[in-house]
Structure 1
Amino acid sequence: MKGRKASAIRGCSQLKLKTKKKKEKETEVCGLGLLPDDVFVDCLTRVSRLDLVALGMVSRRHRYGAESEELTDMRHRRGSVDPYLYVFLHMHPDPSPRWFVLHPVQRQLKPIYPGLYPAPVEGSCFVKTKRGIYTMGGLMNGEPTSEVTFLDCIEHIVYQLAPMKMARSGASAVLIDERIYVFGGCWDQDVADSSNWVEVHDIGTPTWELLPVSTPPKTPLKIKQSVVMMDKNLVYAVDEQGQVFVFSARECMFEAEGRTESKPETKNDWLLANYTFLCRGIGGKVLWRAPGDLEWEEVQGLEELQQQHPGFEIIKLCVYSAETLVIFWEARPQGVLELWYAEFSLSSRMEGEVWVVRGSIRASGSVLSDSDSSYTGLNLLCAASLHL
């Protein structure tokens, strides 16, 4: 009896061992770990960004492949990327702002950087690249700073980078051919001369350089808006007094157009879409005009939002995708502080003898709610969409 029992135990042990080895072998054969590196990366280009995040939790190799620049470039070349909306938000009375990403399925803002870190709460300028978002300058303890940080939207990590040559607040920045140009924002009149007015950063290098500019503006005014034009070498800029300039990146030259933008303080977040300038105005309005004009018209089709939300005031306008723009506004239903957004597409047509641009709402709703009622207000510093 004992011999039979011992034999049965040995048999069960051998069966378990064979089953375990079989499972290990099956797992090893079916896993991505056996694939050559180039095939492994090629497979990753075919899955969604959310799946890449999940795969990054499996192993170090999966995480390294999901975060590699090679994979990012391949996904862009294949067109297997989707827009992801990132928001830099200061919630009072928190001392520092935080980065959030709009979840593509839940349509809620999710904090992506663990904990708060010292950061300017106003006066910064932002530039997005294929992989992340640069934050430059701004006010720290009431004083301009030369600080530069980079949010890596693949790794969801904020990096401290080499500072600018000059401390700046209220500057404007654009990206042209992998080079970041920062205009104005110098407060100290002793150093805010034409030789310090523009500096440039080549993304491939760690340093900043002051850019000698031909025919600079006569006074070191703050640039309120700057928009890269269609030929990618010209920047249309407006200072805080409404003076219009054109900057040539190829010739490093500013040229005053001799025109003045009316009430520049009421027009913010300029962008160029479909050969049309767009900006957010006041009273919940989005405005448009042709680049060669100075008269702004209201984008039609947002009246429903204005009626549904008393006191509706847009606090940020940005591009979401090739077909869609996004607006944000603050709301307080039942006294609860919330951040709302709406996606809309644009169409234009002749009505009589005038062109009319109309927005069609695709989606809208609350993306962030202060359920604990601990916040007194919010300041949306940056909203930018990246294809990842």
Structure 2
Amino acid sequence: MSYPERKRKKTRWSTPHSTPNPSLPDDLLLSIFARVIFARVSRLYYPTLSLVSKSFRSLLASPELYKARSLSANTESCLYVCLRCCSGYRWFTLCRKPDQTITNNKERKSSGYALARVPIPGGSPNVRSSSLVAVGSDIYNICGSINKASPSSSVSILDCRSHKWREAPSLPVELCSVSASVLDQKIYVAGCYNQVQGNGYPDSRKNSFEVLDTKTQIWETKPVPCCSGRIYNFFNSKSTCIDGKFYVVTEDRGSEVAYNSKEGRWDSKELGMGGFMFSDSYCEIDNVLYSLSDGAFRWYDTEVREWKDLNGLFQLPKFSASACVRLADYGGKMAVLWDQLPYHYGYQKEIHCAVVERPTRYEMWGKSCEIWGKVEWCDLMLTVPTSYVLVKVLAATL
């Protein structure tokens, strides 16, 4: 039985009116996708990611990425280390390394951290330990001179997002000695300048006290301290900020003077703060001053008003009095970096790093109390020529 052939009904598909909706270029889509992903990745991995390609390296330095990090509340403290060598200055940043184990005579587990070289176009200007401070994602270099014989008023800023230096408003006066600290996004600078005679030769040193508002980028000259008829010498001074005050410790180690920023006045109280601040191995964390001096870690605050031993750092080596050690506030933790010669002395030395968990205060009877710290990790970071000098360790927020 044959069936008649059925005619297929032609269906006419109606096409809607097309609207102009061009697709985004592939490179733009990749950029947007990567920016969203990278904004949620710890910056400790950025040095490794930058090795993938030039586009990744460019993306990791883009302002849009850090804006996305800020909007996603994913900012973090990033540790930066400055070393001085014969050819200038080299900067490094703490990062995570892919290889979690290293071998040194016998295999041992690594901390997983390393110091990655920061590529800075054009190199770095001259810096000093007391002239480097971090404000947000910027590192300020107050006075670009390496010795007191060449005073300077220059100020430069290292943008830790792009790793490029840029010029900032100069100081109102050329300083031959400078010590800077940060309080409420303002940089307080205590220093000295040379007063010049009519014949062009310096007559004497005069104190200078300048404050930079990092938001407006405007310098303001403040009155220098003269308390109870006593004139304090800011030459070779050290400074820190505790309890909302800018403290300056003078060179004789016995005099401290504090500037109250809210009241706009100086106060000269002998607090005993300065005895352990002249090794450049000190930092402030949560209104407590920590110092390594004469091989011992100590702490000080304005409540106890005396230096006390910092307990619990059993994993750290016994530092000699001449050891070059630098401390930094690393997001509430304490970063400790030091250099040491290896057992088989040659033409190289080692740069080590340890991170101490946020120190814990234990209240005792009366006003007596103790602070304990616990070493989170400790590891060898770099091997460098013996001519290298550890200048500064500080943390930026990105």
Q: TM-score w.r.t. structure 1 length?
A: 0.74
User: Counterpart of 1:178?
Assistant: 185
User: Counterpart of 2:392?
Assistant: 382
1:227 equivalent to 2:236? Answer: no
SS at match of 1:72: helix
- Judge conservation of contact 1:225–1:270 (CA < 8 Å) in 2: no
Amino acid at match of 2:265: M
* Greater strand content: 2
Q: How far off is 1:268 after superposition?
A: 3.9
More deviation in 71-80 or 246-255? Answer: 71-80
1:110 equivalent to 2:116? Answer: yes
Q: TM-score w.r.t. structure 2 length?
A: 0.73
Q: Alignment length, in residue pairs? A: 346
Amino acid at match of 2:375: I
Alignment of 1:236-385 (within 5 A): 236-241=247-252, 242-261=254-273, 263-264=275-276, 266=278, 268-283=280-295, 285-306=296-317, 313=323, 315-322=325-332, 324-333=333-342, 334-335=344-345, 336-345=348-357, 346-350=359-363, 354-370=368-384, 375-385=385-395
Q: How far off is 1:143 after superposition?
A: 2.0
1:136 equivalent to 2:133? Answer: no
User: Counterpart of 1:154?
Assistant: 161
- Judge conservation of contact 1:226–1:236 (CA < 8 Å) in 2: yes
User: Counterpart of 1:67?
Assistant: 62
SS at match of 2:88: coil
SS at match of 1:32: helix
* Greater helix content: 1
Amino acid at match of 1:273: I
User: Counterpart of 1:85?
Assistant: 79
CA distance in 2, matches of 1:34, 1:275: 42
SS at match of 1:101: strand
- Judge conservation of contact 1:96–1:121 (CA < 8 Å) in 2: no
- Judge conservation of contact 1:146–1:163 (CA < 8 Å) in 2: yes
Q: Deviations over 1:230-257 (max 9, x none)?
A: 4x4x223222223111112234322211
User: Counterpart of 2:29?
Assistant: 32
- Judge conservation of contact 2:293–2:321 (CA < 8 Å) in 1: no
- Percent of residue pairs bearing the same amino acid type: 21
Amino acid at match of 2:373: G
User: Counterpart of 1:211?
Assistant: 222
| Match for residue 98 of structure 1 among 71, 90, 96 | 90
CA distance in 1, matches of 2:194, 2:178: 10
User: Counterpart of 1:12?
Assistant: none
Q: Deviations over 1:268-324 (max 9, x none)?
A: 4443324422122121x22112323442112122344235x78893510111122x2
- Judge conservation of contact 2:338–2:390 (CA < 8 Å) in 1: no
Q: How far off is 1:262 after superposition?
A: 5.9
Q: How far off is 1:133 after superposition?
A: 0.3
- Judge conservation of contact 1:139–1:145 (CA < 8 Å) in 2: no
Cα RMSD (Å): 3.7
SS at match of 1:222: coil
User: Counterpart of 2:101?
Assistant: none
- Judge conservation of contact 1:240–1:264 (CA < 8 Å) in 2: no
CA distance in 2, matches of 1:306, 1:317: 15
